[in-house]
Amino acid sequence: MAGNFGSFVSANAFPFLNRQTGGAAAYFAAVAVLSGAAAVCWTGMRSPFATS
């Protein structure tokens, strides 16, 4: 379900940011920042089966 929402937002964000900024760089910068944040969140997750 989150993937569907992300696809919807992403598909609508690209034309919006392209109109606002006149180029695609703002969209790709936003995607890079969000991907970095997702990677940080992913590394912080702990499996219930992990041994410590």
Residues 17 and 30: beta-carbon distance below 8 Å: yes
1-51 confidence digits (pLDDT tens): 777 888 898 889 999 999 999 999 999 999 999 899 989 988 888 777 766
Q: Is 48 helix (H, G, I), strand (E, B) or coil?
A: coil
Task: Flag whether pLDDT at 52 surpasses 70.
Answer: no
In a domain? residue 51: no
Look at residue 33 in the predicted model and tell me its pLDDT.
94
In a domain? residue 52: no
> How many domains are there within the chain?
1
Query: What pTM does this model have?
Result: 0.69
The count of other CB atoms within 10 Å of the CB of residue 17 is 19
Task: Give residue 9's domain range.
Answer: 2-43
Q: How many Å apart are CA 14 and CA 23, to the nearest integer?
A: 10
Using alpha carbons, select from 3, 4, 25 the residue that is nearest to residue 14.
25
In a domain? residue 8: yes
Q: Is 47 helix (H, G, I), strand (E, B) or coil?
A: coil
Look at residue 15 in the predicted model and tell me its pLDDT.
92
In a domain? residue 48: no
Look at residue 10 in the predicted model and tell me its pLDDT.
87
Look at residue 45 in the predicted model and tell me its pLDDT.
85
